[in-house]
Each structure stands twice: as structure tokens, then as C-alpha cells.
Structure 1
Amino acid sequence: MHLQRSGPAPAGALQPTLVIEAGGGCASSTYGRLQQVLSAKYPVISYDRAGMGWSEADPEPFDGQRNAQRLHALLEAAGVTGPVVLIGHSMGGLLNRIYTGLYPERVVGLVMLDASHPDQCELFRQPLPQAHLDAERAKRSAFQAGGAAPPEMAPFEAMFADLPDVVRQLKATYTPEAIDTMVSEHAGLPRVTQQAAASPDLGARPVAVLWAAQDKLPAGTDSASEVQRRWPEYQQDHAALSTRGRVQLVEGAAHMTLVLLPPFVQQIAQAVDLMMAELGWSQ
């Protein structure tokens, strides 16, 4: 398992470490800017789920509880034994609910970033288009064999022009094997939504919900249209899991730009600052 740690060491055994849980099909490098900004003040960890980035693949079907157990063991192995604040983007929000249910004594706060909702289960049952997957694998194989960078790499190079290490990481993890993991995660999402829905509420932990209104889902199916319509309601549901939940619409952000572009990442950092102050760790 691959883990990236940055920022100052915890000031004491009770200072929370921020742990970033990536969205579906994303490696930890996607959150390089978010990690850089947050680690200016706080200890931050990101990691690659099995089969993503530099973490070895898991031959078993994707499962939220097994993922939580693996993350817990990874944190223990890295010496992170104190409290954590979980930051989950997209599917990462579901995984963080599952982790909190299994290890409630460790989690003192959660940040939901345009997080998925258990009611999306039916949408997740729709298979990914095989022709697109095959083309994507072939394109990535050619790139890793020394071919030209695909056109979709250019926007990432522009967005991370000031973070060349992140660009190198993104290119290194742009592999055909990551597509296989993406397919595995998608196939396991109905089970993950069930596990998240069965997890306990979040009690009195502070929960910050930041969401984006643009570019939610591709059109074309009734279930996608229904998810799009209910997205604001889903975000309110996340906050209602806690007696200390807050919801914030990040104006102008889309599902991915929320965690990529500096103005939006700064708003996430401000929400984290507020939460850390609530927890007694203001800077």
C-alpha cells in the first residue's frame, strides 16, 4: 500500500491527522494540491487504494469494509494512532462513513466533498461501456510505452503547472491497470452503498459538506437525471448525519474542479480550519 505524508508532525497525541480518501478511480496524486494546501498547517495523509497509484491490486471484489480495515492497518503501520479527520471526495464520502462505523473511536470529524450518496445505488449498477474501457486501456498502454501524452493530460499539466511533482505522479499512475481497478470499484459500489447506509449516524462529530452544482453526471439515463435532481438533497442528508453538520455550496465548482483548482481548494481549506478550531486545534 502506498501512502503520502506531509505537513508538521502532530503537536500532541490528541491532534488530529487529516486523511484524504480519493474518489472512485482516482489515485492520491489527484489530490496533490489539496494535500499541499492543507499540509501548510496540519499533518496530512493521502493513500492509494488497492490497485490504484502505487498500491498493489486486490484480487477480491471491491468492498468498503475491507477497504476500511486495510486503511486502518496502513495508518497503524505508519504510526498514525491518534485521532483523524476524514476528507472524502465523491465515493470517498461513502468509504469514510464505513470507516467511521468500524472505528468510531478514531474519527473526530469528517469533510464531505461533493460526496456520493447511498441512494445512487441503482445508477452504480449500470455497467461501464466496454468499448470505451478497451480504448482507454490501449491509449494508456501506448503512453506508458513511450507514446505521446493523451489530450486529456494537457488540462492537468496546466492546472498543476506550479506542482511539477504532481504532474509526474499523475503521468506515472496513468496506466491500463488503473482501468481494471476502476472497473472493480464500480462493480463493488452497490455493496459499498449498502454498507454506508447501514453505518451508524455520525453523532456529534463536526461534519463539513462542500458540494458543487456543475457537471454532475452524464445525461442519458433516468437514474442519472434523478441523481442530478436530488444532489442538493443528498448533500443535506450528509450534514444531517451529525448534530454538527454544515452544508456549503461552492459556487462555480464542478465535481472534479472542486478538488483541483486553487480557489475551490482554498475554500476547502477554510472549512477545515473552522473544523480544526472547533476541535481545539486552531492555527
Structure 2
Amino acid sequence: MPAPGEVYTVDGRKMHLQRSGPAPATALHPTLVLEAGGGCASPIYARLQKALSAKYPVISYDRAGMGWSEADDAPFDGKRNAQHLHALLAAAGVTGPIVLIGHSLGGLLNRIYTGLYPEQVAGVVMLDSSHPEQFEAFQGLPAETLAPERKKRAEFQAGGLPPPEFALVQAIFADMPHVLRQMAANYTPETVDTMVKEHEGLQHVARQAGASPDLGTRPLSVLSATVMPKLPPGAEEGAEVQRRWPEYQEAHAALSKRSRLHRVEGAEHMSLVVLPPFVNRIAEEVDWVMAELGCAR
């Protein structure tokens, strides 16, 4: 499938972004930039992008090896990712201030980006974001699951039946058939390799985020899911992360002197960013951030 957005060459490889919404009202009016969670391509955030672009200019993009962006031979690195995103935005003509909206791993990447380009980042929204400490004992993806996952995706791309997990995706995005086609096009064995690379770099990226400066007085909204997934027996590491999740979200809110934290009742880690009621809640928080910046519409 051709890239649905715009493709630019950054550091010798192609990177993809999608923009929507009105153009910035002035050079000082921020553009919203969505940073995906680990292993996620831009179509997953299509409903959120649509909701936000009713008022504001919005950009989503694909990290290296995801969506329509070419893979990167280098290990996954938060600073390298920030540099590539910065160059991508410049190539697309986004030179004014931005508000970073990061889901899961995206929250860590946004902290790194803000530390590198503090003059560009006007505000931050963290969506059930990861915390640097949660990866201290991270074990990575089970090796025995990778080959079957690649095989399943290769068979699907060769014309096989959709995998069972696609039924839920089809239900969630039934009103957005173009998004379903995009997600099917991205369900490839190569994407698994990118997921592995991102998992292998999680501890390094977490340390980079933890070493980044606080957010100062930037408006910061932290939204946290309240429904935790059921864990398999013996998943002590995951159980400890779940126990500390509220504490992690409070720590996020403490990164700025101008912040607020909301626990979104009934939301899970992924449903927070794809289901309409929760997406609308995120849009309300973006309105607050933009109002704090004097840019509400």
C-alpha cells in the first residue's frame, strides 16, 4: 500500500508522516506531534489524530521500521530517534513550537526529545506513559514466540486469513475502513524485527529518559489507564510494574510545575488511545494544554 501521508528522506532513509487539521494560526501556534507506543505504527492513532485535528494541526509519524518508514540498521536509541524526528519535522516545514503527545514508550521518547530541543517543545501530554524504572528487570520478548509470529504474518501477507486478533481491531475501527486497510498492510514479518529491536533498546532508552531534565513550567497533562491486563502465572515482574503504575504516573506529573493528572476510569493501556470516549477525554486535556499556552480554539 502506498504511504497515506508524506515521505521525506532523513539521514539517508525514508520517513513517513501524516498531517491533518488546520494550518497553524500563527508562527507561534503549536503543532501537535503524536509519538507512538512501542511496536505501534501511525494508523493505530488515527482516531485520536482525527479528533485532535478538528481544532489543531496534528502530525503523526512512523519510527524507523514501522509503518512506511524504512528500517534503521543502528540499535534503537532515544536520542537518535529524537534527532530523526526533529529533522523530519524540519523537512515537512514544521519549524514552530510543538506539543508532544506520547503513548506508552512514546512518553519516554518525548522526555528525551524535550531535553534535546527544549526551545521547540511548548507542552507535553503523556498517555499511560512508561516510566524509566519499570524496565530495570526487563527480560525482553520470549524468543520462542518470534518465529511463529513472523510465520503468521507472512502467511497473511501471502493471502491467508486474518489472524484471530484482527477481529477486535476490525470492531474498533469498523467506521474507519481506510485505517483497517492500513493496519493490514503493516501486519508484516518485518515489523516483528522492528519490535524486537525496540524491546532490546528499552533499558537504554529508559536510562536516557531518566537522565533528561524535568519539564520546567511547560503545561503537562498526564492521563493514566485504570484497568490492568490479567497476567499469566509467575509474571512477578509485570505484577510489580502494575502495583507501582499509579506511583509512576504521579512521578510523571511531578516533572512539571504546571501539570495535572487524571486517571481515566475504565480505560486500558491500548483502549485509552483507540476507543471514542477515551479519545474524547484526551482531546479535552489537549484543550487544557493549548489554553495554558494561550492557543485554545
TM-score interval (norm. to shorter): over 0.9
Structure 1: any 5+ residue segments left out of the alignment? Answer: none
Find the aligned partners of 1:217 and 1:208 in 2 and give their Cα distance: 27
Matched, 1:238 2:252: yes
Contact map agreement 1:123 1:224 (CA 8 A) in 2: no
Shift of 1:106: 0.4
Decide whether the 8 Å contact of 2:35 with 2:60 is kept in 1: yes
Tell me how far 1:216 sits from its aligned partner.
Answer: 4.6
* Corresponding position of 1:205: 218
Say whether 1:11 aligns with 2:21: no
CA contact (8 A) 1:90 1:116 kept: yes
Question: Can you list the C-alpha shifts for 1:38-66, whole angstroms capped at 9, x where unaligned?
Answer: 00110000000000011000011100000
Q: What is the identity, as a one-letter code, of the residue corresponding to 1:61?
A: P
Alpha-carbon distance in 1 for matches of 2:208, 2:36:
18
> Which of these residues, 16, 20, 25, is aligned with residue 34 of structure 2?
20
The match for 1:221 is 235
* 1:251-270 correspondence to structure 2 within 5 Å: 251-270=265-284
Deviation at 1:127, TM superposition (A): 2.6
Q: Which residue of 2 aligns with 1:181?
A: 194
* 1:150-165 equivalences in 2 (<5 Å): 150-165=163-178
Question: Is this contact kept in 2: 1:64–1:192, CA < 8 A?
Answer: yes
CA RMSD of aligned residues (A): 1.0
Aligned partners of 1:96, 1:121: CA distance in 2, in Å?
17
Identity level (%): 69
1:137-156 pair list within 5 angstroms: 137-156=150-169
1:134 matches 2:160: no
What is the match of residue 12 of structure 2?
none
When normalised by structure 1's length, the TM-score is 0.98
AA in 1 matched with 2:71 = A
CA distance in 1 between partners of 2:78 and 2:230 (Å): 23
Say whether residues 1:196 and 2:209 are aligned partners: yes
Secondary structure at the counterpart of residue 249 of structure 1: strand
Contact 2:228 2:242 in 1 (8 A): no
Query: TM-score, structure 2 length as denominator?
Result: 0.93
Offset at 1:226? 1.3
Residues 1:242 and 1:216: Cα distance change in structure 2 (over 3 Å): farther
Runs (4 or more) in structure 1 with deviation over 3 Å come to: 216-219
Aligned residues: 282
Amino acid across the alignment from 1:207: L
What is the alpha-carbon distance in structure 2 between the residues aligned to residue 35 and residue 127 of structure 1? 30
**Contact 2:104 2:130 (8 Å CA) reproduced:** yes
Asked whether the equivalents of residues 34 and 265 of structure 1 are also in contact (C-alpha less than 8 Å), the reply is yes
Contact 1:208 1:247 (C-alpha < 8 Å) held by counterparts: yes
Helix, strand or coil at the partner of 1:57:
coil
Structure 2 regions of 5+ residues with no counterpart?
Answer: 1-14
Mapped to 2, the partners of 1:66 and 1:91 lie a distance apart of 15
Question: How far apart are the structure 2 equivalents of 1:256 and 1:9?
Answer: 29
